[in-house]
Homo-oligomer: A and B are copies of this chain.
């Protein structure tokens, strides 16, 4: 794991910049914050924190639990915050495109059009659900985190999700219509 340039360790530093946390906390927080555009598994989080601690970028404190297992709480050190800032300034790495729906759709002529139709239908429903989630999160954030100077940035990321999902819903509807037309032509023979 490259500590300087890799997104994963720096994502951990970023989350710890919001406050001290355990590996378990981080996993929970991800699903409530950056979950719609980023994810990490325990297999990345626990060894990642260990390495960050060894490099002096985070500090570890053990809270003895009575009965329940010990909590290992990590917090950002000054060097850790510096490293996070350095990484934030680096150009964004270009993303490797990987969209399995489009891959299947591209080869859609190999199977019945209603196979593709079902895939697109599933994608439509996914993005309709996401739109609702975004609205709910935005509403909650504007109430509960109204004073946080980070709020504008959080809303920007949500706003991208909204734009993207709206576009996807529109595309799905267009594409469903086209697929139904293809099906009709195939059956009708016209």
- A32 close to chain B: CB less than 8 A: no
The bracket for how many chain A residues form the interface is 35 or more
The answer to whether B92 and A95 have CB atoms under 8 Å apart is no
The answer to whether A107 and B38 have CB atoms under 8 Å apart is no
- A122 close to chain B: CB less than 8 A: yes
Across the interface, which residues of B come within 8 angstroms of A150, CB to CB?
108-109
Our pick among B88, B116, B122 for the contact of A115 (Cβ within 8 Å) is: B88
> How many Å lie between the Cα of A116 and that of B89 in the bound state?
8
- A103 close to chain B: CB less than 8 A: yes
The answer to whether A153 and B14 have CB atoms under 8 Å apart is no
Interface residues of A in 82-114 (CB under 8 A from B): 84-85, 88-89, 91-93, 95-111
Contacts known (A11-B103, A170-B163); A17 close to B110, Cβ less than 8 A:
yes
Binding site for B on A (CB under 8 A): 7, 11, 14, 17, 33-39, 81, 84-85, 88-89, 91-93, 95-111, 115-116, 119, 122-123, 149-150, 152-154, 156-157, 159-160, 163-164, 166-168, 170-171, 174-175, 178, 182
| Apart from A17-B110, A107-B153, A163-B167, 16 more pairs, CB < 8 Å | A7-B98, A7-B100, A34-B106, A37-B97, A37-B106, A38-B97, A38-B99, A39-B97, A84-B110, A85-B111, A89-B115, A92-B119, A95-B100, A152-B178, A159-B171, A163-B170
